[in-house]
Amino acid sequence: MFVTVLFALLFYVATAIFLVGLGMRIARYARTPAPLKIPTTPAPTTRGGVVVRMGTEVLLFNSLFKANKWIWLFGFMFHVALALVLLRHLRYFLDPVPTWVVLIQPFGMYAAFAMVIGLAGLWARRVFVERIRYISSPSDHLMLALLLGIALTGLGMTYLWHTDISAVKLFFTGLMRFELNPLPTQPLLLLHLFLVASLMVIFPFSKLLHAPGVFFSPTRNQVDNPREKRHVANVKWMIAVEKPAASADQ
């Protein structure tokens, strides 16, 4: 019972920090003005074009592909695998389990291996490539350790030391209705859940902010049309000094 209460509290707190922290960060990005047009050109000249650009950036890591095929390979592998694994985990939160979640289940299982390979590749580069070693701080290594820990404990439960997964599901669906159901006390499960909760807490204060950040990046999300449409923003230096700037805004 003690473990159940502890983990229930942990997940409530972690979820709150994750949602509030991330929400505040996103609100800050959205509120902060982008005073000038700075898309990295060639850039799309229409909104629709920007959606396509952002899509290739977020779904295919287009710029990274241009930059470095190894980082792209490992990074892409990790992120796609993570997405599949996360989606697969919906089965532990949703009742009944939607058909599409059932359908991706086998892919999700294998994706965990791809996730480990991707993370290991990225970590190897961080250790063995001199340039990347130079720019790494302890937190960069810890982040990889954390993610790898989550993946390996998950794999461990899938293939070696099974846990009572239906009890786990009852625990989490219960949490969502503010009911307490007992959580199995298998150590690997507890470690897995603890690491996940840690990741949620760290998220809004770390480089994991790249996930929302990319959508707000002016070099990627701005339309290249400064001559056609006058870009104005609410910043002191732009509106205060002179008269014409304030006159007409198309």
Partner 1 sequence: MANFETPELQETVEIPALKKGVMSHSRPFVSKEQFQAPLGFPGELADDWKDVAIAKLGELLKTNRALQVFMDSCVKCGACTDKCHYFLGTSDPRNMPVARQDLLRGVYRRYYTLPGKYFPKLVGATDLTEEVMDQWYSYFHQCSECRRCSVYCPYGIDTAEITMATRDIMNAVGKGQKYSNEIIGKVFKIGNNLGLPQPALEDTLLGLEEDVKDETGIDVRFPLDEKGAEVLVVTPSADFFAEPHIDGLIGYAKVFHAAGISWTLSSHASEAANFGLFIGSNENMKKIAMRIREAALDLGVKRIIFGECGHAWRVAYSYLNTLAGPFDFLDPRYPVPQHICEFTHDLIQRGVITLDKSRNDHRRVTFHDSCNVARASRMGDMPGGQFVIPREVIKAACNHFYDMAPETIGEATFCCGGGGGLLTDDLMELRVKGALPRMSALKQVVEEHEVTHMAAICAICKSQFSKVLPYYGFQMDQIISVHQLVSDAIVLDAQQ
- Tell me how many residues contact partner 1 (CB under 8 A): 72
User: In terms of CB distance, is 22 or 112 closer to partner 1?
Assistant: 22
User: In terms of CB distance, is 136 or 198 closer to partner 1?
Assistant: 136
* Smallest distance from partner 1 to CB 175, Å: 26
Q: Is 209 in the site for partner 1 (CB under 8 A)?
A: yes
Q: Work out which of 4, 15, 35, 109 binds partner 1, going by CB under 8 A.
A: 35
Q: Cis peptide before 42, with omega less than 30 degrees from 0? A: yes
Q: Is 36 in the site for partner 1 (CB under 8 A)?
A: yes
Closest by CA position to 12, among listed 201, 212, 149, 168 = 201
CA dist 100 and 215 (Å) reads 27
Q: Is 47 in the site for partner 1 (CB under 8 A)?
A: no
* Smallest distance from partner 1 to CB 115, Å: 16
Residue the block writes with tokens 């994706």 = 111
x-marked contacts with partner 1 along 110-129 as a string, rule CB under 8 A: ------------x--xx--x
- Please answer whether residues 93 and 172 qualify as being in contact, where contact means their C-beta atoms are separated by less than 8 angstroms: yes
Q: Is 244 in the site for partner 1 (CB under 8 A)?
A: yes
* Smallest distance from partner 1 to CB 110, Å: 25
Closest by CA position to 85, among listed 60, 57, 113 = 113
- Please answer whether residues 193 and 14 qualify as being in contact, where contact means their C-beta atoms are separated by less than 8 angstroms: no
* Smallest distance from partner 1 to CB 208, Å: 8
CA-based Rg of the chain, rounded to a whole angstrom?
A: 22
CA dist 111 and 55 (Å) reads 22
Which residues within the stretch 163-182 sit at the binding site for partner 1 (CB under 8 A)?
Answer: none
x-marked contacts with partner 1 along 48-67 as a string, rule CB under 8 A: -x-------x---x-xx-xx
- Please answer whether residues 203 and 22 qualify as being in contact, where contact means their C-beta atoms are separated by less than 8 angstroms: yes
CA dist 151 and 195 (Å) reads 10
* Smallest distance from partner 1 to CB 205, Å: 5
Q: Work out which of 3, 24, 27, 40 binds partner 1, going by CB under 8 A.
A: 40
Q: Is 145 in the site for partner 1 (CB under 8 A)?
A: no
Q: Is 29 in the site for partner 1 (CB under 8 A)?
A: yes
Closest by CA position to 117, among listed 153, 174, 84, 75 = 75
Q: Which two tokens stand for residue 223?
A: 């339309």
* Smallest distance from partner 1 to CB 212, Å: 9
